[in-house]
Amino acid sequence: MRFWGFVEGTQIERVHMEFCKKLLGVKKSTQNEFIYGEMGRLSHKASIYYDIIKYWLKCVHSIDNK
């Protein structure tokens, strides 16, 4: 699990999106949401939010005497 808090990661997101668009062979102007849907992926920001919420739920539902 990668939980280091919220990091913007705009450079990581840009490189990831460029790679995905090259892999699919689409124009650079193609909307990112279509790329994520076609590849069945989440944006970097969405996956970080998912991990943060999952960690928070794990802490909330853990036994108090730990």
In the chain, how many domains are there? 1
CB of 12 closer than 8 Å to CB of 2: no
Interatomic CA distance for residues 32 and 54, integer angstroms: 25
Interatomic CA distance for residues 2 and 50, integer angstroms: 11
Is 65 within a domain?
no
Is 1 within a domain?
no
CB of 17 closer than 8 Å to CB of 32: yes
Is 3 within a domain?
no
- Domain that residue 22 falls in: 10-60
- One digit per residue, pLDDT tens: the chain, 66 residues? 455 556 677 888 899 899 999 999 999 999 999 999 999 988 888 888 888 899 889 888 887 766
Whether the pTM exceeds 0.85: the reply is: no
Interatomic CA distance for residues 8 and 60, integer angstroms: 25
Is 22 within a domain?
yes
Query: What is residue 19's predicted lDDT score, i.e. its pLDDT?
Result: 93
